[in-house]
Amino acid sequence: MASLFLQNRVSGLHLAVWRGMAFVLISILLLQTLYFILQAIYNLYLHPLRSFPGTKSWIVFPILRDFAQLKGQFDHKIQEFHEKYGGVVRWAPNEISFTSPQAWKDIYGHGHAELLKYFPDGARENGPARIISANAADHFRFRRAMFPAFSDKALGQQEPLIAVYVDLLVHKLRDVATSDLPTNLVQWFTPTTFDLIGDLAFGESFDGLRDTKSHDWITNIEKMMKLFPILTLVSVSPLLSKLLLFLASDKIKRSREHHFKKAEPLTMKRINNAAQRDRGDSTDHMMRSQGQKHGLSNAELVSNSDTLIVAGSETTATLLSGVTYYLLANPTTLKKATLEVRSAFQTEAEISFRAASIKLPYTLACLNEGLRIFPPIPTVLQRQCLPGGLTPIDGKPIPEKASVPS
């Protein structure tokens, strides 16, 4: 009898515990649902951006935007929204997209207070500032230190270095052409630009093009690029943010550490190499700023040389791949560009930066059009309006902290 009583007592306690857990879970679910409903009502009808036209589904369910980005449909969807709603579209609770040239100047241009750069929490990096994420004061300082490396004079000085890799690429592609076998030009452009930027930044080549092999650093950069879409999801919700960063943070951390371990010793080796002073490459020009008010520290030289490797190699290879594809897909355009080049120069030795900029307007227009229809940057350049008032963009007052990519 006592045993039966104890069994009933234990069963009752277990039932009470399960009921208590169920009550807590249901309460959390109800509160989360209520919060979602209230948040949706606020975003649609009370938010400071409520007067701007846009798609209600993305405003209520921001995760739809992130899924579109993961599937590679984001830009196409934004274009659809602009075609439907006009030049100004609200496509997320706190984000507006503009298409006008004036909006671009107001968001990214000069002559006014710089809008704040915005990065999701998971995409922020610790360590010395770099030009793509620096605050306004550091960004101005970095620009001033780096600008001489990209002047016409500097490019003329760097031209012999660049020609080495262009000539080697042409030589390799001629061998491929005589084989009558198909080839993947992306696999040729990538090591070419990587070797070239490595030489300009670190004073030495990675020899990927020469040896016809992929450098492990390129492979790591490609892994980092593939992980980037995961970071775009961290802004969806605090819970999803923690889950995604928990699942991916180890891979992201290892990729970043591997990348930095490559960049730091190479940059310091270049800085301490007295034989390469006045070489005229990008690091040489940045080092000349040291000791001046706008000078870069060694740590900042490392971080920004690292940025040049990613921003200069992967993006250039992507642009060349896109332009090549569109030229091949449009035979009339390809024929006109080919005729222009072959009419302007009788030999390869005559081709130079200066001569190309003067004699090849149509070919340069093809490159510019390639940048427009096949931009190498895989995401929008996020900016936030300044706190403390309204920011005029294309004549429209935008509330503080609103995200305004263009």
pLDDT in tens, the chain (406 residues): 555 444 555 455 555 666 667 777 787 778 878 888 898 999 999 999 999 999 999 999 888 887 887 777 888 899 999 999 999 999 989 999 999 999 999 998 877 888 888 765 545 555 667 777 787 788 888 888 888 888 888 888 889 889 999 999 999 999 999 988 889 999 899 899 989 988 888 888 888 888 887 766 666 666 666 666 565 555 555 555 566 556 555 666 666 666 667 777 888 888 888 777 777 778 888 888 887 887 888 888 888 887 888 778 888 999 999 999 999 999 999 999 999 999 999 988 899 988 999 999 999 999 999 998 898 876 677 888 988 889 999 999 999 989 887 6
Q: Comparing C-alpha atoms, which of 356, 352, 329, 326 is closest to residue 340?
A: 356
What count of residues does the chain have? 406
**Cα Rg of the chain, angstroms:** 27
What pLDDT, on the 0 to 100 scale, is given for residue 205? 84
What pLDDT, on the 0 to 100 scale, is given for residue 164? 92
Query: Measured between alpha carbons, how far is 164 from 297 in angstroms, rounded to an integer?
Result: 31
Query: Measured between alpha carbons, how far is 13 from 8 in angstroms, rounded to an integer?
Result: 9
What pLDDT, on the 0 to 100 scale, is given for residue 294? 78
Are 217 and 206 in contact, with CB atoms under 8 Å apart? yes
For residue range 216-263, what is the model confidence (pLDDT) as tens digits? 666 666 666 666 656 555 555 555 556 655 655 566 666 666 666 777
Q: How many CB atoms lie within 10 A of CB 288?
A: 15
The CATH number assigned to the domain with range 136-321 reads 1.10.630.10
For residue range 205-221, what is the model confidence (pLDDT) as tens digits? 888 888 887 766 666 66
Q: What are phi and psi of 401, to 5 degrees?
A: 65, 5
Q: In angstroms, how far apart are the furthest CA atoms of the chain?
A: 109
Query: Measured between alpha carbons, how far is 387 from 385 in angstroms, rounded to an integer?
Result: 7
Q: Comparing C-alpha atoms, which of 253, 287, 248 is closest to residue 270?
A: 287
263: tokens are: 């960049």
Q: What are phi and psi of 49, to 5 degrees?
A: -95, 10
Are 90 and 49 in contact, with CB atoms under 8 Å apart? yes
CA distances from 261 to 257, 265, 313 (A): 6, 7, 18
3-class SS string, the chain? CHHHHHHHHHHHHHHHHHHHHHHHHHHHHHHHHHHHHHHHHHHHHHCCCCCCCECHHHHHCCHHHHHHHHCCCHHHHHHHHHHHHCCEEEEECCEEEECCHHHHHHHHCCCCCCCEECCCHHHCCCCCCCCCCCCHHHHHHHHHHHHHHHCHHHHHHHHHHHHHHHHHHHHHHHHHHHHCCCCCCHHHHHHHHHHHHHHHHHCCCCCHHHHCCCCHHHHHHHHHHHHHHHHHHHHCCHHHHHHHHHHHHHHHHHHHHHHHHHHHHHHHHHHCCHHHCCCCCHHHHHHCCCCCCCCCCHHHHHHHHHHHHHHHHHHHHHHHHHHHHHHHHCHHHHHHHHHHHHHHCCCHHHCCHHHHHHHCHHHHHHHHHHHHHCCCCCCCCCEECCCCCCEEECCEEECCCCECCC
CA distances from 73 to 79, 80, 82, 84, 277 (A): 10, 11, 14, 17, 47
Give the burial class of 3: count Cβ atoms within 10 A of its Cβ; 0-12 exposed, 13-18 middle, 19 or more buried: exposed
Where, residue-wise, is CATH 1.10.630.10 in the chain?
136-321
What pLDDT, on the 0 to 100 scale, is given for residue 122? 47
Query: Measured between alpha carbons, how far is 335 from 341 in angstroms, rounded to an integer?
Result: 10
